[in-house]
Structure 1
Amino acid sequence: MQDVLEGYAAVATADFIAAYDGLSPESIYEHVVDLIPNHSITIADIGAGTGRDAAWFAAKGHDALAIEPVRELREAGQTLHPAANIKWLDDRLPHLRAVPTGVSFDLVTLCAVWQHLSDANRAIAMPRLATLIAPSGILIMSLRHGPGAKGRRVFPVSSDMTIEMAHACGLHLLRRQDADSVQKVNLSMGVFWTWLAFEKVR
């Protein structure tokens, strides 16, 4: 995982940050947006990058914790998105050791993160994620299929295996939806995504 974080740090130029932050959350989350409550909730955005999605959640009245281990992206996000209902945390999967024990959220999101974890780290991460979700809370994940960008290693992702891991942690599948990438470069590389949403049932 450290090599992936270093890869993101190496490309965190002003142009990269502008491009990353300029993607539309409405387009990215279109397959699961109906699962996000309209009333104010608490959200943990894991692998928050520049805080693009956290800012979108915050603008809707939610309280967002943006968890981002890459200092360059985190600091850019704090400058770009200074909303009072966004808090920032330097932490990383699979353990998320900086998140206090017992803290839970109504919604946990992992957008374009899971592919950077090995199967061994996913086996650690999924139970930890389950502890962060409040009863009847929701986990939303996007799984990348296809090659990764240079310097940012990805591992093959099985949607079926991810669903099985989540189910073993008390997470019930609400949605499974394949989707094209919203980025033209990724489309040209043959990248597509699977969106998964789960509800915590115990």
Structure 2
Amino acid sequence: MNSTSLFYSQNAIELAEQYNGLDFKSVHQSWKLYWPELGPNVLDISAGSGRDAKWMSEQGCEVIAVEPNDALRQIGRQSTGPEVTWLNDSLPVLKNVQSLGMRFDLILVSAVWMHLAPSLRERAFRKLSNLLSPNGKLVISLRHGEFTDGRQGFSVSVEELEKFSKDHALHLQLVSGSEDNLQRADVSWQTVVLNLPDDGAGNLNTVRRIIVNDCKSATYKLALLRTLLRIADAHPGAVLDRSDGKIALSAGLVALYWVRQFKRLIDCNGQLILDTLLGTFH
């Protein structure tokens, strides 16, 4: 356990009280313009005490809260109740999140990026961008100021996020600065809001993301392509055989991801849609 993880474990109760002493609206005022666009599916990275996850859940969002620290995750789960789904996961891997096969309308990365080593950030950003739905928002807060309590922090910048966004076909929509809510004179914040466009504009990465993330299923071939790409992203070790320039995958895994794409239709139309989908495999 590194010094940062140890700090959060040893001070979980005090930190949770500190976090909950501030409300979502005051902490996230800088991107208030986008609150109405939260969307149905939200991912809260390093959700801590669950303050933000709880507020977004109360707005009608389906929230997945990710917290790697056991003590904070337990506190957060008790605070939010069963309305929020909690996962033990962390950047840059997000293995458990990827296994869900979901895409999110909003991903909140609040007070996290400064703990991530610069060498890991490009991978982390790629993972996050791959989890966005078309027109989804990625909100990242940047902390400026050194830690004096044993936690490890690294320098952060908007310029770094701008570069990553260009590399991964996201558009920069907002950069907003704010003072520290805990009144620390040597700490300030910037909030960056990035968007994954759904209009097909941009480079090849954008086209690929539309194929993977677009909720429309125009043809079974497009659905199958999305299925294979999602398996490649989430389960790189799922290949059973590689020979003659071909690969073999588990048919069950392909079927699982295929059906997931049509889950909303299944929920709306029930058995009729399910029978239609299963008939596709015969």
Conserved 8 A contact 2:38-2:105: no
Which sections of structure 1, spanning at least 5 residues, go unmatched? none
Conserved 8 A contact 1:113-1:142: yes
Conserved 8 A contact 1:175-1:196: yes
Which piece of structure 1 moves more, 140-149 or 35-44?
A: 35-44
d(CA) in 2 for partners of 1:156 and 1:146? 8
Query: Relative contact order, CA 8 A, sep 6+: which one is greater?
Result: 1
Match of 2:65 in 1: 66
Match of 1:198 in 2: 194
Bigger radius of gyration among the two: 2
- For residue 100 of structure 1, report the CA deviation from its aligned partner: 2.7
User: For 1:61-140, what aligned pairs fall within 5 Å after superposition?
Assistant: 61-84=60-83, 86-101=84-99, 102-140=101-139
Higher-helix-fraction structure: 2
Conserved 8 A contact 1:138-1:200: yes
Match of 1:175 in 2: 174
Name the aligned partner's letter for residue 131 of structure 2. Answer: L
Higher-strand-fraction structure: 1
Match of 1:151 in 2: 150
Conserved 8 A contact 1:107-1:139: yes
Q: Secondary structure at the match of 1:81?
A: helix
Conserved 8 A contact 1:111-1:142: yes
d(CA) in 1 for partners of 2:78 and 2:123? 32
- For residue 149 of structure 1, report the CA deviation from its aligned partner: 4.4
What RMSD, in angstroms, separates the aligned Cα atoms of the two structures? 1.6
TM-score using structure 2 length: 0.67
- For residue 104 of structure 1, report the CA deviation from its aligned partner: 0.7
Name the aligned partner's letter for residue 95 of structure 2. Answer: R
d(CA) in 2 for partners of 1:166 and 1:40? 21
Match of 1:20 in 2: 19
Conserved 8 A contact 1:134-1:200: yes
d(CA) in 1 for partners of 2:34 and 2:20? 23
Which sections of structure 2, spanning at least 5 residues, go unmatched? 198-205, 207-282
Name the aligned partner's letter for residue 167 of structure 2. Answer: A
d(CA) in 1 for partners of 2:105 and 2:38? 11
Q: Secondary structure at the match of 1:183?
A: coil
- For residue 22 of structure 1, report the CA deviation from its aligned partner: 2.1
Match of 2:8 in 1: 8
- For residue 49 of structure 1, report the CA deviation from its aligned partner: 0.2
- For residue 80 of structure 1, report the CA deviation from its aligned partner: 1.5
Q: Secondary structure at the match of 1:18?
A: helix
Q: Secondary structure at the match of 1:147?
A: coil
